[in-house]
Amino acid sequence: MYIKKIKTPRAITLPDGTTMSQADLPPASTRRWVASRKAAVVRGVAFGLLARDEALDRYGLSEEEFASWVRAITE
């Protein structure tokens, strides 16, 4: 049996004390991006749950689109 190793943690603790896991990220098949889903991806990348490049590939995002999400969340 082959067990796939992942490079990023399965769960992280955010500064506010809540826990975020891989299950809290939107599915890779997501096409309708509401603010809460964008925020989940940005938080996941910012706190190390998901690598930036992995997020871009998984969700089919351009660098500019992801950067606009980050700006929208941090402002």
Query: Domains in the chain and their CATH numbers?
Result: 11-74 (1.10.10.10)
The pTM of this model reads 0.87
Query: In this predicted model, what pLDDT tens digit does every residue of 22-52 receive, in sequence order?
Result: 999 999 999 999 999 999 999 999 999 999 9
Query: In this predicted model, what pLDDT tens digit does every residue of 46-74 receive, in sequence order?
Result: 999 999 999 999 999 999 999 999 999 99
Element (H, E) at 39: helix 35-46
Cα–Cα distances in Å, from 15 out to 35, 38, 46, 60, 61? Answer: 20, 19, 11, 28, 26
